[in-house]
Amino acid sequence: MLDKQLLDILVCPSCRAKVELKERAEGDGEGIDGWLACTGCDLIYPIRNGIPVMLIDEAKKKTAEAAQ
Ligand SMILES: [Zn+2]
């Protein structure tokens, strides 16, 4: 669903570390295909309709997700 090459060039806008693909989790909203988890900080970015949304405003805390 997501181009591996695209994944290689994407970096976290918060800390500029690389991101890795995560599966869609239960309870995710409509149109969420999965998440891109930052390897440097605790933020995860949604993939909406195949488009990675690399915006800090749209990101969630990885710890918050795990608590659900
Ligand atoms: Zn980061």
> So what's the pLDDT on residue 57?
96
Q: What are the pLDDT digits (tens) for 13-60?
A: 999 999 999 988 888 988 999 999 999 999 999 999 999 999 999 999
CA of 44 to the centre of ligand 1 (A): 8
CA of 11 to the centre of ligand 1 (A): 8
For residue 18, which of 41, 50, 48, 49 has the smallest C-alpha distance?
41
Q: Which residue has the tokens 């915006």?
A: 55
Residue 38 DSSP SS3 = strand
Q: How far is CA 57 from the centre of its chain?
A: 12
CA of 10 to the centre of ligand 1 (A): 11
Q: Which residue has the tokens 């909203």?
A: 29
Amino acid at 2: L
CATH 2.20.25.10 fits 4-66, yes or no: yes
Structure tokens at 14: 């918060």
Residue length, the chain? 68
Which sequence spans correspond to the domains of the chain?
4-66
